[in-house]
Structure 1
Amino acid sequence: MRPTTVADRAVSRHGWVQAVAAVLAGLAAMLAVAALGLWAAGATRLPDGAFARVVVATVVTAVGGSVELSGNAGVFAQTRAGLAVLPLSVTLTGALVIGWAFLRPLRHRPVGGAGPSAGWAARIAVPWLLALIGLALAARHTFAVDVRGGTLSDLTGLFGVTPTLGFTTNVPLTVLFGLLWLAGVLLLALLVSRAPPLPGRPARFWEAARPAASAAVTLLLAYVVLGAVAGLVTAATRGHAAQTFAVLLLGLPNLAWLALTLGLGATWHGRVDGPFGLPLPHILDEVLRTPDVSTLNLRTLTEHDGRAWWLLVAAVVLVPAAAFVTAVRSPARVPPRRHALSFAVALAAAAAMIGLVGRISAHYGLSVLGIGDLGGGLSGELLLWPELGPAVGIAALWGLVAGFLGSLLALPVRRRTGTGREHGTRTR
């Protein structure tokens, strides 16, 4: 049995107080981002003190929890509502904070067994489980819907109808998916960090997968940063600053990673009908606001705005740059074809992740005696989904080409610095 090292004991000393602090830091960051985003979106005007509960519900959805909408409008009326969307700005904030807190005590641990790391992860999971239960129980509320003017207002007054909208959570599903979210965050943090790998077979897997996975995550974060810069410029030059900040604080990665897949050549489908609290960028609203389901890709975007070709330019520059970083960080003995394959797998996995978490399905409506579901600002629909298989295939092809090119470009750098040989010596 491997002797316990001083670094292992340091990891083990990160006990319950540190675990609770890590979870509280992550939750505080997520709640702050969600609250600021919803405040910018005007959610403070929701009736019956709903704002705080909506903030909690937003955090629940950000970690994969299940929030269910319901409505009631009496025997003469019908309501319908549904929501399936991840506020990825909130999700990313929590992942970065909790991932950093998890990795902090592992930074100086030598190559060793999985016991201390697994124990530290389990300590974080326990307060996280309790937090999930508390969030799921708190994310419940019902409030009245204000029907302003028109035929529907007259009918609701005539029949004494008071439309209400409520939301609640499925506690078991929220706990299940919230724990899976945490496990994914901690595993990905280990995979992309420079913390030492585990010995034996896991070390070989870490050595092969870490550079490509780290570069893919860096690529995703680079798109988020570029999206933030574009959003700030838009807010400063074109007005509607509050709405822009609402989008940045709630759905920046949703849009930034959508831009990545569109730049690669992927196709999405969607539809927008009626008003929504969070506006889409103007070009997306134009493409998607049609009577039928619309196709969203570079061609349809450039038909409305020629500047959409910059999405392709960004992909041509940033994807090979990420592949170059992958090759520089890899052992010198890895051939170009291996780089191409590993980066293709990483980029395809990133595209699959974007396709799964970037889907949007939101709708609401109210009708009284069959009147009102088609107008008056009391109905709306927002749908967005990818052609997932082709998107993953296109990303894999980009990864193969960019990975091979990046490996060739990195050869002089690796020979000059000896980075690959040092990495191979450290992980043996």
Structure 2
Amino acid sequence: MSPPPVSERPVPRHGWPQALAAVLTALAVMVLVAALGLWAAGAADLPDGAFPRVVAATLVTSVGGGVELAGNAGVFAQTGAALTVMPLSVTLAGALVIGGGFLRPLRYRAVASARELAGWAARIAVVWLVVLIGLALGARQTFAVDVGSGTLSDLAGLFDAAPKVGFTTDAPLTVLFGLLWLAGVLVLALLVAGRAPLPGRLLRFQESVRPAAHAMVLLLLGAVAVALLAALVTAATRWHVPETLALILLGLPNLAWLGLTLGLGATWDGRVDGPFGLPVPHVLDAVLRTRDVSELNLGTLTAYDGRLWWLPVVDAVLLLAVAFWTAARSPARVRPWRHALHLGVALALTVLAVCLTGRISAHYGLSLLGIGDLGGGLSGEVLLRPRLWQAVGLGALWGLVAGFLGGLLAGPAHRRGRVNGGS
């Protein structure tokens, strides 16, 4: 008996059980990645059984939610803290899984109505909303800060000012940004997947949008793959296994996509001060550990290590590869200048997203009787922020050049293969 034609294949359902399965699978993967990364970083040793709450807080920040830090050091003392960072390894893992779960029931389809897609996305969003509320309620903890021995310890005991610091979540912001994150992931999944169905009215845009969007995802994943290879080599040669594992599972895309923008010529402003710093290669810490805010770019990096001139080379290779792949899979009637325009806009938007999600701001300090930060080891700051529009402009320029070259190089591939569309 011959198999039924493709058009007669049963269409997978996408109801509430499928939505629950998609969200819970993504949540499980995110919890696993965050927990292993925090364990490698030593967070399992935190007191009062705080590890699960720290994992919950990590998941909240990974989807753009707000975590508030607060301190209490008695009547005569104050603690101040602030933290803004996204662990993009957890973010990326969750986005890939939930995006795949969203697309899976839509396979074998050529067209889907906007109402159908919206209903399927709404089911996932409702389940995700419940998860966000649970994470926001669970990510709350307070820790006592060990001030050691000596004068500071005596003063803390005298004034009943033993410092404490804790974290809690801003539940409304967590829900808002978590839902926006989900919406972005689902929209991006539809844009990137070449076989995902679209409403009939949008089919005419897929030729110009989907190849460039897919190219940007390949570019970002390629940068992460290069960074992963470098991290594994570092772990194997320098035996920094726990630190490297923590970086891979929590912040590898942070480092990879920072390097991507630096290779394009972008400049970031940053500073590292105090006992804690960035879990990054020594050269970055050396550039940023200064009295004032420092510039982080190819010039300052290569002043410490000339080998980092390979960053723009890697960027050029990755960009040219995805530009050629995009042009080769596009209809032959699309001219090189149009490839350039599509890739220029796409890379500018990608760099914008990297800059918005890759910034870091962290500060903690203790003051007693209003006298500044005391104790040396009890205060510090980490700051990393991009020069946004410079980076976006450079991304557009690189995208234009790479797209044009990719279109030219793909010409012979079109002539050897089947031509799609007219001339």
Partner of 2:317: 317
Mapped partners of 1:201, 1:332: distance in 2: 23
Mapped partners of 1:291, 1:346: distance in 2: 37
Deviation at 1:240, TM superposition (A): 2.2
- Describe the shift of the 1:374–1:201 C-alpha distance in structure 2 as closer, same or farther (beyond 3 A): farther
Structure 1 stretches of 4+ with a deviation exceeding 4 A read: none
Partner of 2:340: 340
- Describe the shift of the 1:147–1:247 C-alpha distance in structure 2 as closer, same or farther (beyond 3 A): same
Mapped partners of 1:141, 1:366: distance in 2: 19
Partner of 2:4: none
Partner of 1:114: 114
Deviation at 1:171, TM superposition (A): 1.2
Within 5 Å, which residues of 2 pair with 1:249-328?
249-276=249-276, 279-328=279-328
Within 5 Å, which residues of 2 pair with 1:335-374?
335-370=335-370, 373=373
Mapped partners of 1:417, 1:183: distance in 2: 38
Q: Which moved more, 1:184-193 or 1:195-204?
A: 195-204
Deviation at 1:77, TM superposition (A): 1.1
1:23–1:124 contact (8 Å) kept in structure 2 = yes
Deviation at 1:369, TM superposition (A): 2.9
Partner of 2:135: 135
Within 5 Å, which residues of 2 pair with 1:33-72?
33-72=33-72
**Could you give the per-residue CA deviations for residues 200-234 of structure 1, whole angstroms, max 9, x where no partner exists?**
44112222110011001100000111111111111
Mapped partners of 1:145, 1:357: distance in 2: 30
Deviation at 1:6, TM superposition (A): 5.9
Deviation at 1:170, TM superposition (A): 1.3
Mapped partners of 1:372, 1:279: distance in 2: 27
- Describe the shift of the 1:199–1:57 C-alpha distance in structure 2 as closer, same or farther (beyond 3 A): closer
- Describe the shift of the 1:199–1:53 C-alpha distance in structure 2 as closer, same or farther (beyond 3 A): closer
1:254–1:358 contact (8 Å) kept in structure 2 = yes
Q: Residue type matched to 1:209 in 2?
A: V
2:368–2:374 contact (8 Å) kept in structure 1 = no
Mapped partners of 1:411, 1:24: distance in 2: 45
Partner of 1:10: 11
Deviation at 1:115, TM superposition (A): 3.1
2:110–2:198 contact (8 Å) kept in structure 1 = no
Q: Residue type matched to 1:84 in 2?
A: T
The size of the alignment, in residue pairs, is: 416
TM-score scaled to structure 1, two decimals? Answer: 0.94
1:23–1:127 contact (8 Å) kept in structure 2 = yes
Mapped partners of 1:399, 1:348: distance in 2: 7
2:302–2:308 contact (8 Å) kept in structure 1 = yes
**Could you give the per-residue CA deviations for residues 104-131 of structure 1, whole angstroms, max 9, x where no partner exists?**
1212112242333222211111111111
Mapped partners of 2:394, 2:374: distance in 1: 38
Within 5 Å, which residues of 2 pair with 1:374-393?
375-393=375-393
Q: Residue type matched to 1:250 in 2?
A: L
Mapped partners of 1:245, 1:86: distance in 2: 17
- Answering whether residue 178 of structure 2 is matched by residue 178 of structure 1, we say yes
Partner of 1:331: 331
- Describe the shift of the 1:182–1:199 C-alpha distance in structure 2 as closer, same or farther (beyond 3 A): closer
Deviation at 1:400, TM superposition (A): 0.7
TM-score scaled to structure 2, two decimals? Answer: 0.95
Partner of 1:85: 85
Unpaired runs of 5+ residues, structure 2, are: 1-6
**Could you give the per-residue CA deviations for residues 169-214 of structure 1, whole angstroms, max 9, x where no partner exists?**
1111111111110010000011011224435441122221100110
Aligned residue for 2:334, secondary structure, equals coil
1:246–1:278 contact (8 Å) kept in structure 2 = no
Mapped partners of 1:154, 1:86: distance in 2: 38
Identical columns (%)? 69
Deviation at 1:374, TM superposition (A): 5.3
Mapped partners of 2:357, 2:278: distance in 1: 18
Partner of 1:188: 188
Q: Residue type matched to 1:56 in 2?
A: A
Mapped partners of 1:211, 1:328: distance in 2: 10
Mapped partners of 1:180, 1:131: distance in 2: 14
- Give the aligned CA root-mean-square deviation in angstroms: 1.7
Within 5 Å, which residues of 2 pair with 1:204-215?
204-215=204-215
Aligned residue for 2:69, secondary structure, equals strand
Q: Residue type matched to 2:361 in 1?
A: S
Unpaired runs of 5+ residues, structure 1, are: none
- Describe the shift of the 1:258–1:107 C-alpha distance in structure 2 as closer, same or farther (beyond 3 A): same
1:41–1:243 contact (8 Å) kept in structure 2 = yes
Aligned residue for 2:363, secondary structure, equals strand
